[in-house]
Structure 1
Amino acid sequence: MRTDIPHLVSEHRECDELLHRAENALNDGQLTEALVLLNRFSDMLNRHLLEEEQDWFPAFEKQTGMTSGPTMVMRTEHADIRDMAAQASSAANAGQMEEALAAIDTLNVLLQQHNVKEENILYPMLERVLGAKAEGSACCGGCTCSG
């Protein structure tokens, strides 16, 4: 596991870029390219969400005792994002371009709203609570990493 917040923000941008490229490919009628990009997007998105859910959120919850606060909200949003990403991929795999584009539009909105909350609210909280970990030095001891 990476131990710094900036890489989480960077992954948001990389996911956004892959999804944008997939959307452009669909708009251009390049279904094969769109499917490749959607698969890359899904892989990166799932790795990112799992890292937050399995490493960062539990460490934060252990340090603060808050299990029904911001991390619970983010987990709920992660489920919505996963569902919409699956709908987009499913529609694209079925050759349903309009449905895939509609799902991507909704997914873009969900991701933008979610990322703003994480980057402006949750990540600063993680940095404050998990200070040493967020700065990339010694592990905070509240997670399952080997640092």
Structure 2
Amino acid sequence: MQKIATYLDQDHRRCDDQYTLAESDVILRHWDAAGASFAAFLGMFNRHLDKEERVLFPRLDHALGNGYGPTVVMRAEHRQMRDMLATMQAAITERDCASFFDQADMLRILMRQHNLKEEGILYPQADFVLAKQADAVVASMEQLDHAVAEGSAA
């Protein structure tokens, strides 16, 4: 049986690694590379959020018997991060390093706190509450990756 926490923790690390590449390109002012690497990061990051919002959160809410639990806070933070990332993407387009890093500094703090809550509380709770469904949950999340891969190959 696969653990939901392990799968999503690994997804966090892949997103972090891609973000680091994008940030390095911005630091070096390699704007074309920064645009490409940041776009790749956004794709990965948005897929990660989709895995949580479309697969994990609804099942967790159902298992917990409400839609007002910890997933409400996570969804709100996702919206905040999406807004910040849109500003950062615009900064890359405008080749504005200062604007990019103004947002990046705030994003780093929010993302660190967010990931700690997910990795320390939410994902272990999901592993416990959804133990019998864990393989199906992970398989559903992997289907989102495959759908994107198939769409980009077409």
Is 1:112 matched with 2:112? yes
Is there any run of 5+ residues in structure 1 with no aligned partner, and where?
none
Structure 2 length normalisation: TM-score? 0.83
The structure, 1 or 2, with the larger RCO (C-alpha pairs under 8 Å, 6+ apart) is 2
Q: What amino acid does structure 2 have at the position aligned with 1:89?
A: Q
Tell me the number of residue pairs that the alignment of Structure 1 and Structure 2 aligns.
140
> What's 1:34 paired with?
34
CA distance in 1 between partners of 2:52 and 2:100 (Å)? 27
For each residue in 1:55-103, what CA deviation from the matched residue of structure 2 results, as whole angstroms up to 9, or x when unmatched? 1000011111131110001000100111111111011111112101221
Matches within 5 A, 1:55-74: 55-74=55-74
CA distance in 2 between partners of 1:31 and 1:110 (Å)? 25
After the TM superposition, which parts of structure 1 deviate over 2 Å for at least 4 consecutive aligned residues?
A: 2-5
Structure 1 length normalisation: TM-score? 0.86
Larger helix fraction of residues: 2
CA distance in 2 between partners of 1:11 and 1:94 (Å)? 29
Is there any run of 5+ residues in structure 2 with no aligned partner, and where?
144-154
Contact 2:22 2:34 in 1 (8 A): yes
CA distance in 1 between partners of 2:49 and 2:23 (Å)? 21
Contact 1:25 1:31 in 2 (8 A): yes
> What's 1:92 paired with?
92
Contact 1:3 1:133 in 2 (8 A): no
Q: What amino acid does structure 2 have at the position aligned with 1:74?
A: M
Percentage of identical aligned residues: 35
RMSD of equivalent CA atoms: 2.2
> What's 1:102 paired with?
102
Is 1:15 matched with 2:15? yes
Q: What amino acid does structure 1 have at the position aligned with 2:34?
A: A
